[in-house]
Structure 1
Amino acid sequence: MTHRAAGTPAGAPLAAEAVRDAVEAGHARLRALLPGLTDAAVRAPSALPGWSRAHVLAHIEGIGRAMARQARYALRGELIEPYDGGFPARTAAIEEGARRDAAALRTAVGDALAEASAAWAAVGPGDWSRPVRYRDGALRDALLAWWRELVIHTSDADLGHGTDRWPPELCHHLLAHLAPRAPEGVRLVLEPAGEAAALRYGPTDAPVVTVRGPLTALAAWLAGRAPHTPLGCVRAGVTGPLPELRPWP
């Protein structure tokens, strides 16, 4: 069963142009973190289990270029897969790219961000509904995917911009987009601190599990990242562990 969040705590979804502005801010944020990278730093573990910083940066490079080409081809009225060779080729490219030294990674990621900026800047107001091959969606969906990947993996790289600094707009987007991760068989209620509206997922007649904490920590948890501060979880009036989430949609 697919769970949907009830209510939109930050109002209507962001316009595509506002998302593009947020993406550009994410580009600038990551660029500012790159100059300090050393060879030792890129070999060090990232916040993602099993991946070094080099793996995360190679993935950012790859997904940035993949979504950029979705935009370029969509503007020509053509469809193309995000990655030539599909998921196996994506995985191989990450492993190969992670072998590079810090200087090569800095250059590659910087070039990918420049490519992404140019591709998305070319999209006009009437273009956002153009079809793309990515999940058989529209161009706006590809932009949102890049926004999620960019911000989340910038934090995964553990370069000094953690989940506690995620923009509120992205957090609200994640809480809606990741609704299918809500645990099965419960009524999950998320209560962001300082916000009037709670989010509710799952069947209304199921046992209620309430999770409370800062908006950024709730979004990080739903995204499969360690919350930067402990979250409170209550089931049937008793404090307990956080429930297990379902896979990413």
Structure 2
Amino acid sequence: MAEAGGLLRGPEVWAYVLDGHERLRIALAELTEGKERGTSRLPGWTRAHVLSHIEGICRALTRQARYAVKGELIEVYDGGRPARDAGIEAGAVRSAAELTAAVTAALAEAEAVWGSVGDADWDRPVRYRDGDLLGALHCWWRELEVHTADAKLETCSAAWPRELCLHLFDFLAPRVPAGLTLVESDGPVRHTFGAAAAVGPHGSGGAAGSFGDDSAGRAPVVRGRLTDLASWLAGRQPHQRLDGRLPELGPWP
């Protein structure tokens, strides 16, 4: 299980990623011609933009893994953010069939490369955030799940696994004002951001946040389903209403 402030092991994350790949493939089956021009959950982006981005970030992070296992480093995108943005725009003009084929091919490439990563490889350095291979895989997990939901196809954030939601609580903690407590309305999770470490149902807390009760009882509290709380943290509209005053979020870390 995930702990606040911690990361899942590589094989655990990879199992969740493979599930996400399969759900995305199923979702792509409903991308009939013309549907790619429909709106996504991201302002100013069509479904084609989202799928173009999914393909691009999949290939970019896959090459992080390909080079890392050889002991080499490479930039996430050749040309940096401008090249990334240009690639999304160029890819978004493709048809539904072309986008489906491109994304499917990118997923197959990812499975071939990431599937060959061994237990001793996860701490190999990568250029992504000057981190390691495990961090890069966590990034692909986030990008895959969040943007699959953004595409407004078969899957949505309501299908996110619990472990992804808990990971998003940790990763997105810098967006949240200290002292806010998120409470799962249909489960045991209570997560206070910026609080001292406390032991809760999912492990020990960390500097960014903790699972456990706010003993003072004075922190602002927002309640909702775990997937809806995670959706809000990720800057997406929850599927069901959250109870409590929602503070303004900071930028994506």
TM norm structure 2: 0.88
Offset, 1:110: 0.4
> Matched residues in 1 for 2:6 and 2:41: separation?
32
Corresponding position of 1:171: 165
Corresponding position of 1:192: 184
> Matched residues in 1 for 2:176 and 2:119: separation?
34
Structure 1 consecutive aligned stretches of length 4 or more whose deviation exceeds 3 Å? none
Counterpart amino acid of 1:75? V
The answer to whether the aligner puts 1:18 opposite 2:12 as a matched pair is: yes
Corresponding position of 1:63: 57
- RMSD between superposed Cα atoms in Å: 1.9
Corresponding position of 1:232: 243
Counterpart of 1:210 (choices 221, 224, 243) is 221
> Matched residues in 1 for 2:85 and 2:77: separation?
10
Counterpart of 2:120 (choices 95, 120, 126) is 126
Counterpart amino acid of 2:111? S
Corresponding position of 2:252: 248
8 Å Cα contact 2:30/2:154 also seen in 1: no
The answer to whether the aligner puts 1:156 opposite 2:150 as a matched pair is: yes
Per the alignment, do residues 13 and 142 of structure 1 end up closer, same or farther by CA in structure 2, a change over 3 Å counting? Answer: closer
Counterpart of 2:33 (choices 28, 31, 39) is 39
Offset, 1:242: 1.2
Offset, 1:203: 6.0
Q: Map Cα deviations across residues 184-207 of structure 1 (whole Å, 9 max, x no partner).
A: xx51001112333411113679x7
Q: Map Cα deviations across residues 155-195 of structure 1 (whole Å, 9 max, x no partner).
A: 00000211111110100110111110102xx5100111233
Per the alignment, do residues 36 and 86 of structure 1 end up closer, same or farther by CA in structure 2, a change over 3 Å counting? Answer: same
Q: Map Cα deviations across residues 77-134 of structure 1 (whole Å, 9 max, x no partner).
A: 0000111100000000000000001111011000000011111001000000000000
8 Å Cα contact 2:26/2:154 also seen in 1: no
Corresponding position of 1:87: 81
8 Å Cα contact 2:158/2:228 also seen in 1: yes
Corresponding position of 1:137: 131
Counterpart amino acid of 2:174? P
> Matched residues in 2 for 1:166 and 1:203: separation?
26
> Matched residues in 2 for 1:203 and 1:193: separation?
20
Unpaired runs of 5+ in structure 1?
1-6, 234-240
Counterpart amino acid of 1:211? V
8 Å Cα contact 2:224/2:242 also seen in 1: yes
Corresponding position of 1:77: 71
> Matched residues in 1 for 2:88 and 2:128: separation?
19
Name the count of aligned residue pairs. Answer: 233
> Matched residues in 2 for 1:219 and 1:171: separation?
5
Corresponding position of 1:236: none
Offset, 1:12: 6.2
Q: Map Cα deviations across residues 35-88 of structure 1 (whole Å, 9 max, x no partner).
A: 221221100101111100000000000000000000000011000011110000
Counterpart amino acid of 1:61? E
Identity of aligned residues (%): 55
Taking the TM superposition and a 5 Å limit, the aligned residue runs for 1:97-108 are 97-108=91-102
Indicate the SS of the match to 1:211: strand
Counterpart amino acid of 2:248? E
TM norm structure 1: 0.89
Indicate the SS of the match to 1:212: strand
